[in-house]
Amino acid sequence: MEEQSLSQALKEAVLKGLELAEKTGEFVIEQAPDLVQQFIMWHTAQHIFISIIGIMIPIICILVFFSLGKKTNGHPGRFEIKLFGRIYEEFAGILMTIILFCLPIVAGTITFYIGVYNLIFILVAPKIYIIEYFIDKM
């Protein structure tokens, strides 16, 4: 008797599990187009943001670079150099040129182009983008 009730309970649990799996599969199939659309929209927004950051980083660093220099029409002193019409201490000027001017422009340009490349990829071939995205994640 116990075996029969246990067997019956197990049978009901398996049937409920199958029914739930079937409903879940139907839900996923119904929601798939919306999920794909939201996935594409999210990645488009993400790459727009990356492109904007790629533009903003060099602009901010260049503004900081120019704000640190002394504005003067004269000639630089013994331990000073003139860069872009402003006077900086020689060592600090060279260091700031590299750190606040050259590197951010290179990094920002690379970031901007990567973001734009991915945006174009998403807009031109969204299905291929999705396939490549999930292949890379596996």
Q: What separation in angstroms does the CA of 92 have from each of 33, 56, 83, 106, 120?
A: 56, 23, 11, 20, 40
- At 91 the pLDDT is 67
- At 6 the pLDDT is 66
pTM above 0.75, yes or no: no
Please name the residue that has the structure tokens 């331990």. 79
Q: Does residue 2 have a pLDDT over 70?
A: no
- For the chain, state the CA radius of gyration: 30
Q: Does residue 95 have a pLDDT over 90?
A: no
Domain positions in the chain: 32-137
C-alpha 10 chain-centroid distance: 48
**What is the CB neighbour count within 10 angstroms for residue 42?**
10
48 vs 24, higher pLDDT: 48
Residues counted in the chain: 138
Q: Do residues 79 and 8 make contact, with C-beta atoms less than 8 angstroms apart?
A: no
| Angle (deg, nearest 10), helices 103-124 and 126-137 | 120
